[in-house]
Amino acid sequence: MLEVTGLEAWYGQAQALHGVSVRVGEGEVVSLAGRNGAGKTTLVRCLIGLHRQVRGTVRFLDRDVTRTPAHQRARAGMGWVQDDRGIYASLTVEENLLLPPRVSDRAWTMERVYEAFPVLAIRRRAPGTTLSGGEQQMLAIARALRTGARLLLMDEPSEGLAPVVVARIGEIIREVKAAGAGVLLIEQNVKFAATVADRHYLLSQGRIVETLDNSEFRRREGELL
Ligand code: ATP
């Protein structure tokens, strides 16, 4: 469903991505690992249409979207769970969940969200500002699920969270996969990536330096980053 070929990205004269090619199939969870500054966030921003200084091709659901504006990519079914979570602090949990537009018939109902994330049901009237890191991350993921996105781009969803919350996020990713959506998981936590992803790309200095299946990734887990 996502096919990226020879992607190059620049910040002014400085090139951040050098010919990156990655693909994510339907019902596939793919991780992208790499150290700080490797280019992970730049790649996600290129995919969703927030970084426009690019060359190469991004195809999504058999359409070339390389020059397609971000809002149209979102409407076509690209969902983004951003690393800073992007919660609207002045809105309640429920208002944050009601905001996203529905883009497909896979969109999760409020009932389903509250069943999957009981903590959000308990905190439904709480303002976004008062949520813990784990609650914010749950809300960010739930908001993407509310749209019915066909592809979820998740930027460091496990960062800074307690193991029990990380495990819950893993369960949700498996549920999304079982429903046939694709997931591109940006993740420096290789242990977590190994528990949820089918395949892994390793990004270094703007280049994909390794593509590994999950058994190989597990074998080399300790030496990868
Ligand atoms: P992190 O895990 O720290 O977020 P990352 O793998 O996501 O790192 P990027 O943030 O994509 O890496 O950065 C890739 C390269 O692009 C780095 O060399 C970085 O210095 C550069 N870069 C990122 N943002 C900008 C910017 N706004 N202007 C100039 N250079 C930038």
Tens-place pLDDT, residues 143-177: 999 999 999 999 998 888 889 889 989 999 999 99
Ligand 1 centre from 91 Cα, in Å? Answer: 30
Q: Can you tell me the mean pLDDT for 126-148?
A: 91
Please tell me the pTM assigned to this model. Answer: 0.92
Sign (positive/negative) of CA torsion 23, 24, 30, 34? positive
Q: Which of 6-10, 44-48, 99-103, 149-153 comes out lowest in average pLDDT? A: 99-103
Which residue has the least CA distance to atom 23 on ligand 1? 42
> Quick one: pLDDT band at residue 74, thresholds 50, 70, 90?
very high
Residues with a CB atom less than 6 Å from ligand 1: 11, 14, 16, 34, 36-42
On whether the CB atoms of residues 168 and 190 are closer than 8 A, the answer is no
What number does the ligand 1 atom closest to the CA of 186 have? 7
Give the 3-state secondary structure of residue 143.
Answer: helix
Ligand 1 centre from 35 Cα, in Å? Answer: 11
Q: Per the structure block, which two tokens stand in for 195?
A: 């528990």
Phi, psi of 187 (to 5 degrees): -155, 125
Q: To which H or E segment does residue 114 belong?
A: helix 110-116
Question: What's the pLDDT at 87?
Answer: 87
What are 191-222's pLDDT values in tens digits? 999 999 999 999 999 999 999 999 999 998 87
